[in-house]
Chains A and B, each alone.
Chain A
Amino acid sequence: MTTAADPVSAARARLTPGAQAALVTVLVGCVCLLLGPNLPWLTAWPAAWTAPATQWVGVGAEWFLNAIKPAARGFSEVLRFPMDWANFVLGATPWPLLVGGATALGWAIGGVRMAMLGFAGLSFVLASGYWAQSMNTLALVAVSVPLALLLGGAIGILANEFTRIRGAVQAMLDVMQTVPTFAYLTPLLLLFGFGPVVGLIASAIYAAPPMARNVMLGLERVDAEIKEAAVMSGGTRLQQLFQVEIPSAASQIMVGVNQCLMAALSMVIIAAVIGGFDDIGWEVLLTMRKAQFGQSLLAGLVIVAFAVIIDRMSAALALERRRYDPRVAYSLIGLAVVFTVVFWSHLPDPATFTLLDPLAAAVDHGLGAFTADNGARLDAIKNGAMFYGLLPLKIGLDDAVLDFTWGFQWTAAMSLALYALALVAGLLLALRERLTGGLLLVIAVGMLETGIANLPWPFVLTATAALAWVAQGRGFAAIATGLLLTILLSGLFERALLSLYLSGAAVFACALVGGCIGLLCAVSPLAWRIMRPICDMLQTIPLFVFLIPVLMFFQIGEFSAFLAICLYAVVPMIRYTRHGLISTPGEMIEAATASGATTWQTMRDVRAPYAAPTILLGLNQTILYAFAMLVIAALIGTTGLGQSIYLALGQADVGLGLSAGASMAVLALIADRLVQGFAEERRRALGL
């Protein structure tokens, strides 16, 4: 035994970093709690301390945007040509040709299955009566995707060639992908004016990072010996790059193309909120506003049909593939041509197709009947979730527990009792060598009692810094604190807390539900067979479409937003949990089985610890997904930064839009790095 001279340092040495961080956080929380009533600036950041940062950003950005406006307008004039052209081609081509073309393309890429997909998908679009709007959307995608591919490809290649800028490029790509989609639109609106060009450019910018990332990754992963063989063959750098490295990285790059296509489609549809362009996204928005949910669902399904076709076909390109007889594809096109020529004078205008309208009407009718019958039950679900879950989280037990919600009024005595209980439980845990757990329990109870939206800023700053310190060390703690301070100074902190509350609640729910589903899928192949297509579908559907079903049942409001976020963000949690749990090396499981462990013991003692880093990465994805959806959900009623960004778009307020967008990105980046840090730590602990 060592004898420590100084009891304080001896105690410190015995505390893990986690316990130290938790202890500091508890202390700061206590101080805020005790002094809060007397020192109001401790709880709420005084307005006098905020700098008019949003205005400054606005003025600066507007000055800058105005300066480059002529160039931008010129650029948009140039873009008008390909756009008009794409519009013309897609709009003027008779629909049988396009349906035939999609089928033929499907055949060439993936044989019968893809051909059927192309045929069925486009037929559905045709039958929906939204043909023209769909072609407008498609025209935007058709122009923005090549732009995004070029931009992303160039960034990826340059970052690969000049290793010195790689770090900076990575950081830029991170930011580009975490800045919420709507936030892109406001400055672009100012630059290019109302019109489809904004959506086009926004989607090109938004879709470039995945391409760049995959190009970088693909080039980096090319076998070192293949690169060396190209060098030793006497190729110039350009020959090496274009004749050897890029073709060798083709399948990874195709993954980038796939992601790029999906991102572009998603953004083009989101950009419909600007309006002024008769595309399918606008149709969804319009019908949603008019509460015509049947039509809205139909339009949403058209979007889904496109997403599925584009996704599956481009994903098939990334795989090693068989060659399919091109003659079949040619005959399909020939058939379409013959059909078009023969029926030329009888070809109906696709806008007159109303095959599915009865279905839409039936949905509306059925929904009306359903809500009429079950309105009370739906309301009960919604109110239950709000009163007993979301509201206490948001504003704390002392404000949320009222006579008319919980049936009694929260009193100061109850608060005291709760704290006392938490302290006792915490102490008990601490005495059983679980000090960190005990402290975390106290913190959790304190947060529940106060409510996330009412958390005092010193506490938030300390807690974030403490977490950051544990996860990534001192440097990151400083950066995180600095970034949070800028949010504080710009006066957006309250809204940031509101965003944090809603995304936090959604992430928590996703972690719980997704974790359980993932676990189920890991033990039961049948469950995974059912869940897998659902997960695939949820990840293919553009964000926008998630709003329709939740609106149908729960109307506008925070609960609907919460549900939409959960629906979208739960998928990575399911996938990663399952993947982590099933990818435990067989030898380890055999060793556990040989030691006599039951299935559940193996799960708890072997699989779960081994899967922890993977599951944490899933959580990380879930958090990023939640932030992305949070902004979209602003359309149906959320408070917080998402709402600010959406409002800024409506008022063309660049300052607010950029600041709120940046704040959102800051929150997402901090969360991202925190979880990554923990995942990394777990992985190191396991020696992976």
Chain B
Amino acid sequence: MSSDTAPAITCRHVWQVFGPDSEPALAQALAQSGGDAAAAAVALRDKGLIPAVQDATFEVAEGELFVIMGLSGSGKSTLVRCISHLLDPTGGEIRIHGEDIVTASKQRLIELRRNKLGMVFQHFGLFPHMTVAQNVAYPLRVQGVKQAARRAKAQTVIDLVGLSGREDTYPRELSGGQRQRVGIARSLVADCEVWFLDEPFSALDPLIRRQLQDEFLQIRANLNTTIVFITHDINEALKLADRIAIMRDGRIVQIGTPTEIVLNPVDDYVREFAKDVARGRHARVASVMHSGDGGGHVRGPDDPGLRRNMTLDAALAKCMDLYEPVPVWDDSGMCVGTVHPAELAAALQVDEA
């Protein structure tokens, strides 16, 4: 992340409060609490308003896959709808590539959505009266692209999501997994730069879900879009994310890489999530090693050969019977640090503590 280019998405103190006259109520609550978000939220709740998103502040870097995770009702959808400006945030500042979208004109928002933003919905949001091809091509149709051109473009994304041959069927004739492929194709047809996915796989069976996750990662590898991905499934989050933001009751309680979330949960709520995870399979050696050149270690014959990006499980299996710090190597064979096997074991034990 270089500091001279603006991050893809910037959110500062974003609030979304549902209820009548929410804007003055929010301003008043913030003034009374002296800017303390938690106290302001309590005050708003007491008035019968719903602070669905409270004081969300974070940045998403260009090309990053940013996952927002939390239980249902924690405000994930609301937050992502603020960023895509389907909802007007009650307070705060949201920038996409440096451009303030809260104050953007209607016209400008339409332009942004045509050229820059794409969104996938939990229940697909397919147009029931249009065929697969028409659904997919719709973002081009509103721009006035000619029929033949948009059909051709739609065909490439339909092929990309593996729906070739189903172009002329209607959504009601498709299975859930196929419908979401249509949703994905539609959001990609206009070459978006920022891609929002609101629990895209949550309505699907586990098997189909896994398959679509894999395909999603493949698609993503060939695009360089910035992605905001919503899920309530910790395993999905860990599998996909570059960074994860965890939401609880409207607040973001922790932002971090998958490893940080698993190894250092900030509170019981996050710990509860992380408990379901076999952390040995997600945390890497790099997260527990002591950096440094390891005192000029030379790789001996009995060296277990730990690498930075090995999972903890794999590393522990290699040095289970060692009691000394073990050197860690990078890909070029340089020693980049050491790790003590006891620390490895301890890192795997955190949740029992």
Contact = CB atoms under 8 A, between A and B. Distances in A.
Interface of A: 223, 225-226, 228-236, 239, 243-244, 247-248, 250
A56 to B, nearest CB: 40
A561 B142 CA distance: 58
A234 B113 contact: yes
A459 B49 CA distance: 44
Interface of B: 81, 84, 86, 110-111, 113-115, 117-119, 121-129, 138-139, 141-143, 183, 186-187, 190, 196
Contact of A229 (B141, B186, B190): B186
Specify the main secondary structure of chain A where it touches its partner: helix
B173 to A, nearest CB: 12
Given A235-B142, A247-B129, 11 more contacts: A226-B127, A229-B119, A232-B84, A232-B113, A233-B142, A234-B110, A234-B113, A234-B190, A236-B110, A236-B142, A244-B138
B249 to A, nearest CB: 22
B114 A225 contact: no
Nearest to A239: B142
Nearest to B116: A234
Nearest to B135: A229
Given A223-B123, A228-B119, A233 B113 contact: yes
B113 A231 contact: yes
B55 to A, nearest CB: 24
| Minimum-distance CB pairs A-B, first 4 | A234-B114, A225-B125, A229-B125, A234-B113
Nearest to B196: A232
Contacts of A239: 142
A364 B127 CA distance: 58
B142 A229 contact: no
Nearest to B129: A247
B183 to A, nearest CB: 8
Contacts of B121: 225, 228-229
A250 B129 contact: yes
A234 B117 CA distance: 9
B119 A243 contact: no
A182 B143 CA distance: 51
B125 A223 contact: yes
Contacts of B123: 223, 225
A232 B127 contact: no
A244 B127 CA distance: 7
Contacts of B138: 230, 233, 235, 243-244
A80 to B, nearest CB: 38
A241 to B, nearest CB: 12
A360 B94 CA distance: 78
Contact of A248 (B119, B128, B187): B128
27 contacts: A225-B121, A226-B125, A226-B128, A228-B86, A228-B125, A229-B119, A229-B183, A231-B113, A232-B84, A232-B117, A233-B113, A233-B114, A233-B138, A233-B139, A233-B142, A233-B190, A234-B115, A234-B143, A235-B110, A235-B138, A235-B142, A236-B110, A243-B138, A243-B141, A243-B142, A244-B138, A248-B127
Nearest to A234: B114
A236 B128 CA distance: 19
Given A234-B190, A236-B110, A229 B143 contact: no
Contacts of A228: 81, 86, 119, 121, 125
Contacts of A248: 127-129
Nearest to B143: A234
Contacts of B124: 225
Contacts of B119: 228-229, 232
B301 to A, nearest CB: 60
A223 B171 CA distance: 14
Among A225, A226, A233: residue with most chain B CB under 10 A: A233
A232 B129 contact: no
Contacts of A250: 129
Contacts of A230: 127, 138
B351 to A, nearest CB: 37
A235 B115 CA distance: 12
Contacts of B111: 234
Contacts of B122: 225
A231 B86 CA distance: 8
Nearest to B85: A231
A234 B139 contact: yes
A251 to B, nearest CB: 9
A49 B127 CA distance: 62
B156 to A, nearest CB: 17
Contacts of A233: 113-114, 138-139, 142, 186, 190
A250 B117 CA distance: 29
B126 A229 contact: yes
Nearest to A320: B172
Among B81, B84, B111, B128: residue with most chain A CB under 10 A: B128
Contacts of A234: 110-111, 113-115, 139, 142-143, 190
B168 to A, nearest CB: 14
A166 to B, nearest CB: 16
A243 B134 CA distance: 11
B140 to A, nearest CB: 9
A243 B190 CA distance: 18
Contacts of A243: 138, 141-142
A71 to B, nearest CB: 37
Nearest to B141: A243
Contact of A232 (B115, B118, B128, B143): B118
Contacts of B127: 226, 229-230, 244, 247-248
